[in-house]
Amino acid sequence: MDEEFLREQLASSDRQHDALILVIQELSGGQSIGGLMYDICENVILGSNSASIKSLAYDIVRMCSLEDSEWESVTSAITQDLSGPDDLCFVSVSMIPVLPEHCIQEQHFTCAGLFDRLVAPGRLARRADTGTLLAAGPSASCPTAAVIGPVFGTESL
């Protein structure tokens, strides 16, 4: 894998999709992506407004260990996207359970209007998914639910 080539691809918004697919292939094959996580966080997660591109980047986040500064970038993007267009909002909501607890507590997610957006026609399935996620409570797979539930006002779902 040519890291410099991938860095250039990640910096170019019209070539990010192909670069992210290559990174996912490398990770799926058990290969290291070296120092590309910083570029993915800065150029794609913080820099892109495309839900499909961010979804691929978030898939990579789920597959990797991140440094605190990279988690800060992811958390900032999620916070920004929660008030953005619906497609970005939904992609961001799916990442909240992946965040380390300290990121959630430091960010103080303000999601008061999120459920109102999820109730609109055609969004009830997403609302149900989010409710199920929050109602599940903390577990090995979602230790942050205890922190997220009260923030969303769903501690008694």
What are the pLDDT digits (tens) for 69-111?
Answer: 999 999 999 988 888 888 888 898 888 888 888 887 766 555 5
Q: How far is CA 32 from the centre of its chain?
A: 21
Domain ranges of the chain: 3-152
pLDDT of residue 38: 95
Are the C-beta atoms of residues 35 and 71 closer than 8 Å to each other? no
Query: At residue 148, does pLDDT exceed 50?
Result: no
Contacts (Cβ under 8 Å, ≥6 apart) of 155: 149
Are the C-beta atoms of residues 12 and 43 closer than 8 Å to each other? no
What are the pLDDT digits (tens) for 18-63?
Answer: 999 999 999 999 998 988 999 999 999 999 999 999 999 999 999 9
pLDDT of residue 55: 95
Are the C-beta atoms of residues 45 and 73 closer than 8 Å to each other? yes
Which amino acid, residue 98? V
Phi-psi region of 138 (alpha: psi -120 to 50; beta: other; left: phi over 0): beta
Whether the pTM exceeds 0.85: the reply is no
Q: Is the dihedral of CA 81, 134, 72, 59 positive or negative?
A: negative
Beta-carbon count within 10 A of 75 CB: 21
